[in-house]
């Protein structure tokens, strides 16, 4: 059974921008895996840190259960995620446990550092999947099949300098949007936090609006998630697109983006 692994920063990040794609892969026989690298301990103005950590862990586990994904526990607290060898060894171990052909992660440039550090760790952990001399924590053997990394759309659909971002591919999530929304609703502690800290009104409505905005960008889908494919060099023996191969017509390639970004190797 082929597998896909989502590596994101905080509890609820996966549900906002990647859960629909995971669900579409799962419906086509893929095994799906799920890790939030941070505990989410900073995500409350009502609970203290340890209480928030426990609450968000339970919410993440429930969301993964709703999605039908294998859950892996976080590795550090919020705002403490750094691109460092100890954390890299832990993330690389998750990659080797899940043995994904597809790794989904944050955009390289996003509005906050936890997202960007999670992206860097995910990319290098995926790169190291076939390097037996790189030691993971815990130790796990390398595996040799190809891996392709895809980057989600950043928050606000723009980079930190407010430049709009176009996706290289759009996945139609319309048929699984309600299921995705159910998984996001498991993160119930986030409604008050996001209302207070970021003015997002209802986080469920915010996700609906973002999914609809990405769907509009696709020009075809009511709800969608957007992805940019990482360069294949070092990850696979040749340029491949397993997300498109797996999802077919549900994955719409942005041909203008791909032609503009194409680099001969």
Please check the confidence at residue 45 and state whether its pLDDT lies above 80. no
- Which residues lie across from 70 on neighbouring strands? 33
**What average pLDDT does the segment 75-92 reach?**
98
Q: Are 224 and 170 in contact (CB under 8 A)?
A: yes
Please list, in sequence order, all residues whose beta carbon lies within 8 angstroms of the beta carbon of residue 201, skipping any fewer than 6 positions away: 195
Count of structural domains, the chain = 1
**What average pLDDT does the segment 217-232 reach?**
98
pLDDT at 158: 97
pTM for the full model? 0.95
Q: Cα Rg for the chain, rounded, in angstroms?
A: 17
User: Chain centroid to CA 165: how far?
Assistant: 17
The conformational region for residue 73 under phi > 0 = left, psi -120 to 50 = alpha, else beta, is: beta
Least confident of 11-25, 49-63, 112-126, 178-192: 178-192
Please check the confidence at residue 194 and state whether its pLDDT lies above 90. no
* Arithmetic mean of pLDDT over the chain: 94
Q: Report which of 38, 46, 49 is spatially closest to residue 11, judged by C-alpha positions.
A: 38
Q: Using 50, 70 and 90 to split pLDDT, how confident is the model at 46?
A: confident
Angle of the 203-218 helix axis to the 190-198 helix axis, nearest 10: 70
Question: Cα(114)–Cα(112) distance, rounded to whole angstroms?
Answer: 6
pLDDT at 121: 99
pLDDT at 26: 98
Please check the confidence at residue 199 and state whether its pLDDT lies above 90. no
Q: Are 174 and 208 in contact (CB under 8 A)?
A: no
Least confident of 25-39, 136-150, 196-210, 242-256: 196-210
How many Cα atoms occupy the beta-carbon half-sphere of 128 within 13 Å? 26
Higher pLDDT: 41 or 192? It is: 41
pLDDT at 38: 98
pLDDT at 44: 78
pLDDT at 200: 57
Which tens digits make up the pLDDT trace of 91-125? 999 999 999 999 999 999 999 999 999 999 999 99
Q: What is the CATH number of the domain that holds 141?
A: 3.40.50.10320
pLDDT at 50: 94
Give DSSP secondary structure letters for 38-55.
Answer: B--TTS-SSS-HHHHHHH
Q: Report which of 100, 153, 87 is spatially closest to residue 127, judged by C-alpha positions.
A: 100
pLDDT at 202: 80
User: Chain centroid to CA 166: how far?
Assistant: 17
Please check the confidence at residue 78 and state whether its pLDDT lies above 60. yes
Instruction: Give the DSSP H/E element, type plus range, for residue 23.
Output: helix 19-27
Q: Using 50, 70 and 90 to split pLDDT, how confident is the model at 143?
A: very high
Cis (ω within 30 of 0) for the bond into 138?
A: yes
Residue 121: which domain range? 3-261
């Amino acid at each position: 059974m082929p597998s896909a692994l989502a590596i994101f920063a905080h509890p609820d990040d996966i549900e906002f921008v990647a859960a629909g794609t995971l669900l579409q892969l799962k419906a086509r026989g893929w095994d799906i895996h799920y890790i939030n690298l941070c505990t989410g301990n900073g995500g409350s103005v009502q609970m203290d840190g340890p209480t928030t950590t426990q609450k968000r862990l339970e919410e993440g586990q429930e969301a993964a259960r709703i999605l039908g994904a294998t859950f892996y526990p976080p590795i550090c607290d919020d705002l403490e995620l750094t691109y460092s060898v100890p954390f890299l060894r832990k993330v690389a171990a998750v990659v080797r446990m899940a043995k994904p052909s597809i790794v989904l992660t944050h955009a390289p440039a996003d509005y906050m550092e936890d997202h960007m550090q999670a992206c860097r760790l995910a990319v290098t952990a995926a790169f190291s999947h076939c390097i037996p001399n790189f030691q993971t924590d815990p130790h796990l053997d390398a595996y040799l099949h190809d891996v392709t990394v895809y980057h989600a759309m950043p928050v606000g659909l723009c980079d930190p300098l407010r430049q709009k971002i176009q996706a290289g591919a759009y996945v139609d999530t319309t048929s699984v949007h309600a299921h995705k929304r159910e998984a996001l609703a498991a993160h119930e502690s986030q409604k008050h936090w996001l209302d207070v800290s970021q003015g997002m009104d209802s986080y469920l409505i915010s996700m609906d609006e973002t999914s609809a905005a990405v769907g509009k960008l696709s020009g075809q889908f009511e709800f969608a998630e957007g992805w940019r494919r990482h360069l294949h060099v070092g990850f696979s023996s040749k340029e491949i697109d397993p997300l498109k191969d797996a999802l077919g017509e549900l994955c719409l390639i942005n041909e203008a983006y791909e032609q503009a970004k194409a680099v001969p190797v």
